[in-house]
Structure 1
Amino acid sequence: MMLMNNLSIIVRHSKVFCEHRLHDYGVGFPEQVILMYLSSNNVVNQDAIAQYFMLDKGAIAKTLRKLEEKGLIKRLQNPENKRENLISIAQEGQNILGEMGKALNEWNQYFFEGLSDLEIRQYENITKKIADNVAKLNEKTVTDLKAEGQRTK
C-alpha cells in the first residue's frame, strides 16, 4: 500500500511542477503528456493515443481539440481511411517540446537527487518491470472479460 501512496504523491507533484513550469504557454498536464507521446510516435490516430493511455476516446478528443485550437498539433485526413484523422505535432508544438524538455531535466535533477547512477538504473529497471507486469495483467483481464462475454452469449 505504501508503494501506491508514494507513487500517487510523486505523480501529483510531477503534475503540479509541469503545469507550473509551462503555465505561460497555456499547456496543461494532459496536453503535455500527449505532446510527449506524439514526439516519439510521429503520426498516429486518436485510437492509438486512447489505447496507449488507457483512456476513453472522448477524453482524448477533448485534449486533442485543445491542442489543435492552440496550434500545437495538426490533424490530417487519412488517405487510406477517410473517416480517420492522423495526428502529428505542429511546429509550435515542437517549440513547446523544447521547454518541456528543460522542465523534465530540472524535475529529474530533484527527483534523483542523492541517488547514485547505479540506484537510478536500478529504479528505472524495477519500474519498467512493474509497468510491464501491470500491462500484462490488464491485457489478461481484458482477454478474460472478452472470453467471459463470449461464453455468456
Structure 2
Amino acid sequence: MDEEYHQAIRDNSPFIAWIHNISLNQQKYMKTKFSKLDLGHDVRYIMYIYDNPNCSQDDLVNMFGQSKGNIAKILRKLEDKGFIERQTNPENRRKYMLNTTDKGHELVPKFRKISKEWEMEVGITDEDIELKKRIKEIALNGMKLIEEG
C-alpha cells in the first residue's frame, strides 16, 4: 500500500475516524461481493431485522441513529426488493413489526460468511473478543448519552 493512500490514518486521528474508516472499507468490500443486489450498507438493516424478529422502525432509529423519515425510506426500498415485510402490530395498530422474508433469510448467512472472511483478511480474529466487547460497550454508552441528552 502506498504512502499517500494511508496518510489519512495517523496516530493523532480521532479514534472515531478509525472506526468510521473500518466501517466504510468493510461496506465497500461487501458491496463488491453483493453488487447485483444494490444494497450497499442497507444490508445492516436486514441483518438487524433478521436478528430481532418483530422489531419496529423505532428500534432501527435508535440502533442506527437515523431519522424516522430516512429509516422509512430504507424500509420501503428493502420491502420493494423483497428482503423484509411489515406487519401491523396487533398491540399498537399504528406501528409495524418488521421481519425478513425468505429472500432476506437466504441473504444473511451469505453476508455473514463473507463478512467473516473480510474480518479475517483485515486481521480481526476470535482472540479480539475483549476488544469487540469494549467497542460494543462504547457504542452502548454513546446511545445512552444521546437518550439522556
Structure 1 and Structure 2 fold alike (TM over 0.5): yes
Corresponding residue of 1:7: 19
Tell me the TM-score normalized by structure 2.
Answer: 0.81
- Look up the equivalent residue of 2:67 and give its one-letter code: D
SS in 1 for 2:110: helix
- Pick aligned residue for 2:108 from 73, 97, 101: 97
Secondary structure of 1:52's partner? Answer: helix
Aligned to 2:64: 53
What residue in structure 1 maps to residue 138 of structure 2? Answer: 130
- State the shift of 1:116 in Å: 7.7
Task: Show structure 2 runs of 5+ residues with no match.
Answer: 1-11
Matches for 1:21-60 after TM superposition, within 5 Å? 21-30=33-42, 32-60=43-71
Equivalent residue for 1:149?
none
- Structure showing greater radius of gyration is 1
**Range moving further from structure 2, 125-134 or 46-55:** 125-134
1:54 Cα deviation after fit = 1.6
Q: State the match for 1:150 in structure 2.
A: none
Aligned residues: 137
Aligned to 1:121: 129
- Whether the 8 Å CA contact 2:57–2:98 is kept in 1: the answer is yes
Counterparts of 1:45 and 1:17, CA distance in 2: 28
Q: Secondary structure of the equivalent of 1:77?
A: strand
Structure 1 residue runs of 5 or longer lacking an equivalent are: 142-153
Q: Distance in 2 between matches of 1:105 and 1:45?
A: 27
8 Å CA contact retained: 1:22, 1:99: no
